[in-house]
A = this chain, B = another copy of it.
Amino acid sequence: MTNIKEIAQYAGVSVSTVSRVMNNHPYVSPEKRKSVLQAIDQLNYSRNINAIHLSKGKTNLIGVIIPFTNHPYYGAIVQGITKQANAIGYHIVIFQTQYEREKEIQALNMLQMKQLDGIIVCSRISEMKVLLDYQKYGPIILCEDTAQAELSSISIDHYAAFSSALEYVVAKGYKKIGYSLGRKKSRNSSLRTKAFNDIMNKYHLLNKKEWLFEGSYHIKDGEKLFQDWNSMIDKPEAIIITNDDTAAGFILTANKFGMKVPEDVAILGFNNDSLSEMLDITTVSLPLDWIGKMAVDLFENPKVIRHVKLDYTLMKRKTI
């Protein structure tokens, strides 16, 4: 049976180059890679990657858990993860969960079965104790502002970011303030709700439960949000919408109904994606690409548990 030395000799490269090609390492010139692969073919080399994985205990795959692929927030994080993963010789396996617990468990099982070297959880469904059970099989990195200490995490300080957005709205003179979340029960949403309640108490402002909206994920949710807001008799004068796509959807729908932002209702968004820039949406800019990159850094250094918080910036534009 052919071995790695014979392949190296046939291809006219070093043994370490052959090894790098087999492990899909990026730093191999295209010509050398081609020579090695041709040699493998020619010499009818029957070794395959799964044998390598068995012996090395590594697949060079990282699982990434997200609710949906087609969304600017998760798209930006995944882009950051992918770039950094590729730079260190890894590829990513996408787990699109639509918030179904079972799909998250599938990814964790693949980690247990050694088909993944680690997992980055961009939006968690399972309880923390479930994830902790799988920790022994490989690094599990959380993209959330977490309270626990056993799994590394990368996030922004969601309580502080939401507070500073709200302080800005209050400073602008608004008294009747509402807000819209994605999934109300997520860790990040809980922090935002706490921030909202604390600030409303601080300034003795009205805190009506009807002014807490949820289900804001996509641009079309903004259309629904506008209808819900518009049908209220007692409306908030300003709304913090925790993703720019939904904020954009709200604003464009308001315009269709002859309303102006901020004149008829003020809007503050989150994320600072390109659409918010084009629509001049006042928003909190989140370093999503960096969150992705740092998640991979944390994956690479699993021996030290770290909780990294990145900065956010309030982009003062025209919608409030």
Contacts and interface: CB of A to CB of B under 8 A. Distances in A.
Interface of A: 21-22, 24, 26, 30, 33, 37, 40, 48-54, 59, 61, 68-72, 75-76, 78-79, 82-83, 86, 91-96, 101-103, 105-106, 109-110, 112-115, 218-220, 223, 248-249, 252-253, 274-275, 277-279
Contacts of A61: 93
A82 B96 contact: yes
A12 to B, nearest CB: 19
Contact of A112 (B37, B50, B274): B37
A286 to B, nearest CB: 14
* Highest count of chain B CB atoms <10 Å: which of A83, A94, A95, A275: A94
A33 B113 CA distance: 13
B59 A115 contact: yes
A92 B91 contact: no
* Highest count of chain B CB atoms <10 Å: which of A37, A69, A75, A109: A69
B94 A82 contact: yes
A131 to B, nearest CB: 14
Nearest to A112: B37
Report, nearest first, the 5 A-B pairs whose CB atoms are least far apart.
Answer: A70-B75, A49-B113, A50-B53, A48-B114, A50-B54
Contact of A249 (B54, B109, B278): B278
A83 B96 CA distance: 8
A219 B69 contact: no
Contacts of A50: 50-51, 53-54, 59, 114-115
Nearest to A61: B93
Given A22-B113, A72-B70, A51 B49 contact: no
A113 B52 CA distance: 10
28 contacts: A26-B106, A33-B105, A33-B109, A37-B112, A48-B113, A48-B114, A49-B110, A49-B113, A50-B59, A51-B54, A53-B115, A61-B93, A68-B79, A69-B69, A70-B72, A70-B79, A75-B75, A86-B103, A92-B93, A92-B94, A93-B93, A93-B94, A94-B94, A218-B274, A219-B278, A220-B277, A223-B278, A252-B278
A275 B79 CA distance: 21
Contacts of A278: 219-220, 223, 248-249, 252-253
Contact of A79 (B33, B69, B110, B279): B69
A159 to B, nearest CB: 27
A316 to B, nearest CB: 17
Given A49-B114, A50-B59, A68-B79, A219 B275 contact: yes
A113 B59 CA distance: 12
A76 B70 contact: yes
A21 B109 contact: yes
Nearest to A48: B114
A91 B110 contact: yes
